[in-house]
Amino acid sequence: MGLLIVGSIALDNIETPFDKVEGALGGSSVYISLAASYFTGPISVVGVVGDDFPPQHIKMLEDHNIDLEGLQIVEGAKTFRYGCRYHYDLNVRDSLFTELNVFEKFNPAIPNKSKKNSFIVLGNIAPQLQLDVLNQLENPKFVVCDTMNFWIERTKEDLIKVLKRVNVLIINDSEARLLSKEPNLIKAARIISEMGPQYLIIKKGEHGALLFGENTIFAVPAYPMENIFDPTGAGDAFAGGFTGYLHKNRELSFDNLKRAVVFGSVMASFCVEKFSTKGLENLSLLEIHNRFIGFRDLSNFS
């Protein structure tokens, strides 16, 4: 059974205090699938682009054994474009523009062969689209879901329906507080878990991440980095590393979920070291393994 990933595909303009790029490859399903590709396969991506989407991006994804049969290329239309500027404090960013283009009418059509995929990542898209995807699948075994403030504020009812059908929700701390209306993260996690997801992961940026489930909590710190060049896609890289690792060995014990959270953190740390998807394009398994060991040395004691 393959791993199915549904989300956005974008061309991003990104400015940080260090550099800027225009029309760089981006989008949640791109980051998720690239990160997952180091752990498992086959990976199928469902998404949409315009005919302006550069062929070299398609080639790069295919070189990572990512199956693009589910990629719709709309003739005469433009790819989703997003621009943002990060502040000196890279936790803060201003959106500069959002051109939905082909994404506005995106209607995810799951290829027949992917409908039986047991592992699915629902990237950060409208909850109604996430429901549409779930409704096309035959008895999914493990559903990982991302969302964001925008959907929590505007389409909370749809989101609540999604949450009843997911195994893992991955959100950041401010989204957890918004969704639960509770400032204390531990209480917030309890409230959100009661909405449906079997496991909850709260990402805390430079402070790491928390995994909640089975009445237990696991905390992983962020990797200590002196230079973060571009935070774009870090959360998606986390989701990809997390799900890719679980999909590879199919063991859903809490101990294995802990390891998956660490591999998610590993991929997020590589992601932010370079602009756009560059940090995820040319990794070796040894680099990934060594950083996993780095996380272990960082946080384990006896």
Distance between start and end Cα atoms, the chain: 39
Residue type, 71: L
Q: 190 to each of 8, 200, 214, how far by Cα in Å?
A: 29, 9, 11
96/293 with CB nearer a copy of itself:
293
Nearer to a copy of itself, 100 or 219 (CB): 219
Find the shortest distance in angstroms from Cβ 224 to a copy of itself: 5
- Give CA torsion, residues 117, 156, 231, 21, to 10 deg: 90
Query: Smallest distance from the beta carbon of 133 to a copy of itself, in angstroms?
Result: 31
Residues that bind a copy of itself (CB under 8 A): 88-89, 183-187, 204, 206-208, 210, 216-221, 224-227, 255, 258-259, 262, 296-302
Distance CA 283, CA 286 (A): 8
Pairing verdict, β 80-86 and 93-99: antiparallel
Q: In angstroms, give the least distance from the CB of 225 to a copy of itself.
A: 6
Least distance to a copy of itself, CB of residue 301, Å: 4
Give least dist CB 293 to a copy of itself, A: 11
> Please, which residue, 56 or 300, has the CB nearer to a copy of itself?
300
Which is it for strands 43-50 and 3-6: parallel, antiparallel or unpaired? parallel
Residue 115 vs 207, nearer CB to a copy of itself: 207
Query: CA 294, CA 122: separation in Å to the nearest integer?
Result: 29
Residues in the chain: 302
Pick 17 or 54: Cβ nearer a copy of itself: 17
